[in-house]
Amino acid sequence: MITIVVIANEASGDQLGALLVRALRERCAHVRFVGVAGPRMLAEGCETWLAMEQLSVMGFAEVLKELPRLLRLRRALRARLLATRPDLFLGIDAPDFNLGLERDIRAAGIPTAHLVCPTVWAWRPGRVKAIRRAVDLMLSIFPFEEAFLQRHQVPARYIGHPLADDIPLNINQAQARQAIGVPATAPLIALLPGSRVSEVERLAEPFIETLCRCQRERPVLRFVVPLISPRIRAIFEATLQSLAADIRPAPLLLDGRSREAMAAADVVLTASGTATLEALLLKRPMLVGYRVNPLTWALIKGLRLVKVPYAAMANLLVGRELAPEFLQAHCRAEELAPALLRLLDDQQQRRDIQAVYQQVHEQLRQGAAARAAEALLTLLDQRSTHSQPSEL
């Protein structure tokens, strides 16, 4: 039995991990997956050592607040990993948490791989040295990453993006609306306020205020809000109750089902993150709103840590700001609501955006889960061969 420890810290990692677990199981029946998993990986049979939400923190100030707890959890995971001595350790994204684990585990003689290259090409490029020490194989999901990593002596394999394979090239909006119970002809906006507690605590208020402004101006509008977990839903519902208890029609709140919500929508208002890529793959025009702790923002701006022009991966892939970004002080209803309504009204602009997103989707569609599975099995085979004693 092959044992692979997988650690996914957030919803996007859970999505990617589930696809990879499925692809590995198709090629190797005798494999056991354990580690830190979310609902999608659990559904694929991965055993989890602790709730994924315990590791989901983003931002400098936010991490500092939670640092003692996170360090305790990482020490506990390291001890359990060394006691388990799996055949392979796979970290999915979350480089600040996973790379340190990978370095220590690799030093103990356990093969390590990492899925989703840290954005060293965008900010904190010095991290590439830490990556080189930490991983036996980096699985990159964007085409420009492989050459960058290989220039820095990091073993890398470009696999394409698993979500680009998982999401169909052609989206059936009517079917998605039927699945979530939304009228076929109603103008629909999807709100995605994030997958982390810290994100939803900062974005629920401006997103709900945007909903209220839009609905006052267009009473026919409908809103759908997918929420990844009961805890996230409770935070959003509390804010909704305090700001818009009497709004009618009330927004449709979904437990998970973000893909169906976006596929059903005409336009999307989303937090920055993997959701922007998912909206692109679903060919949905979008606005991006985001806030972080003011200290985090001041450090990012003051130290010029970000080396790319856009916050949203959708815009980085396209190479221009097709999804308008409303960051920090600009993430407010007074700016978001008019921009949403303009996008909703401009059908030609939406068609143009969808055509560009279609091209990007086709470029990213590489059979990623299968390629990743083959690369990991090759790594395991190579390490197994090297570890066998030579014949005398």
Please tell me whether residues 221 and 342 are part of one structural domain.
yes
Q: Which domain holds residue 41?
A: 2-162+367-384
Count Cβ atoms below 10 Å from residue 153 Cβ, excluding itself: 11
- Rounded CA gap, 114 and 128, in Å? 13
Same domain, 224 and 357: yes
Within-domain flag for 66: yes
Residues 346 and 373 in one domain: no
Share of the chain above pLDDT 70, in %: 90
Residue 282 sits in the same domain as residue 152: no
CA distances from residue 254 to 56, 106, 274 in whole angstroms, order as listed: 21, 41, 19
Q: What is the pLDDT of residues 14-43, one digit of tens each?
A: 988 999 999 999 998 899 999 999 899 999
For the segment 50-107, what is each residue's pLDDT rounded down to a tens digit?
A: 877 767 655 555 556 667 778 888 899 999 999 999 999 999 988 888 999 999 999 9
Residues 141, 246, single domain; the answer is no
Span 258-278, average pLDDT:
95
Q: What does R_g of the chain's alpha carbons equal in angstroms?
A: 21
Report how far residue 88's alpha carbon sits from residue 53's, in angstroms, rounded to the nearest whole number.
Answer: 23
Residue 391 lies in a domain: no
Report if residue 390 sits inside a domain.
no
- The count of structural domains within the chain is 2
- Taking the C-alpha atoms of residue 204 and residue 231, their distance in angstroms, rounded to an integer, is 13
89 with 182, same domain? no
The answer to whether residues 141 and 101 belong to one domain is: yes
Residues 314 and 113: their CA atoms lie apart, in Å, by 26
My answer on whether 148 and 287 are in the same domain is no
Domain annotation covers residue 298: yes
Q: Is the confidence at residue 379, as pLDDT, over 80?
A: yes
Q: How confident is the model at residue 166 (pLDDT cuts 50, 70, 90)?
A: confident
pLDDT of residue 302: 58
Rounded CA separation 332/325 (Å):
12
3-state secondary structure of 140: strand
> Same domain for 215 and 318?
yes
Same domain, 82 and 189: no
What is the distance between the alpha carbons of residues 342 and 348, in angstroms, rounded to a whole number?
Answer: 11
How many residues make up the chain in this entry? Answer: 392
148 and 199 inside one domain? no
Question: Do residues 282 and 376 share a domain?
Answer: no
